[in-house]
A and B are shown apart, each in its own frame.
Chain A
C-alpha cells in the first residue's frame, strides 16, 4: 500500500484514503462548445501512458476531500512529489535526472 502525501493536509497518509482521478494538466477549454472534433478527442479520449514519470490527479477522498496533483514513477510506483490543484506542472523534479 502506497503512502501518499496530501499537499493540503501536509501529511503522508495511506493509499486507502485516496482515489486516483486520472491524468493531470488536461485543461477544459473555456470555449468548450466551439472545440473541433480533433481537439475534443485530444481533450477527452487521449491519455499518455508513460513508462516512467506520470502527472496525475488524486483525491484525498477519505480525508480533506481535496483534489491535488502528483508526480509518480510508473516503473517503481514511487511518488516523486505532490502539489496543489491549479499549481503549474513542476519544471524540476526532486531526485529525478533526465
Chain B
C-alpha cells in the first residue's frame, strides 16, 4: 500500500500534475467556464507560462541542487536524513509554504515588486489555464523552490515528495473554476469540516477572493488571502477574509490586455499600451494612482466608479 501511494506521488511530481492540469483545463474549457474572456492574447500567454518554465526553470533548479549546493554546502548531503518522516513532513510543509506566503505577500505589499506578480492577476477568469500564469522573473526567483531543494539536499527528500504533491493538488484545486468546496458550505453535516478546511488550506472561495477584480462587494479581497497550500498563515497574520462566496469578476480593473510577451517577460520586454504598468513609463501600481487621483472625500466613490476606470 505504501509503495502504491509512493508511486502516485512520484508520478505526480513528474508527469502526473501537468497531465491532471491539462485534463481539468480541457473540462473547464468544454464547460464554458472561461466564458468569452479567453482571447488569442490570453491563450498564448497561458500556454507560454505553462510550457516555458518547465523547459527553462527546471534545469536551473536542477543545476542549483546538483552543482551549486554540493559546492556551497560540502559534506552536508543527507546530513539530516535521520529526521523521522512525519517531523520532516511538518518541517518541509511549514518552511516551504510559509516562505511562499511571504514571497507572495511581499509582491502585493511592496509596490516595486507588484509588476513581477501582476501577470498572475491579470486573467479575467479562474481555472487551470491561468494557474501557472506568471512572469518568468517571478517564477525563476520562487524562493521556496530553492529552500525546499536545499532541504532535499540535506536529507528531507522523501517527505518533500509528499508535501510537494499535496501542496500542488491543493493550490491547483484552489485556482480551479470548479467550486469543489461548495458542498461543504451547503450540506449541514459537512459545515464543521468546512470550518476547519477553510481555515487550514486554500479553497476556491478564499483564493478566488484573492483574484477578485474589486473588493467592494465584500467578497473580493485582492489585498489579502495570500496563502497557497495553508490558509492558516492569513488567519495568524490577519490578512485573510472568509465569506464562502465567489467574486462576480476576476482580474484587474485597470487591465489593458497587455501583450503576452510583455506580461511574460517584463521588464525585459515592455508593453506598448500607453499608461500600462508594464509600459516604459507606466505607473508602478495603477491601483494606487487611481486612489491618489481622487480627492479624500471621494474615497468612498472610488470603488463604485471602478468599473468605469477599466481601460480594456
Do A and B form a real pair?
Answer: no
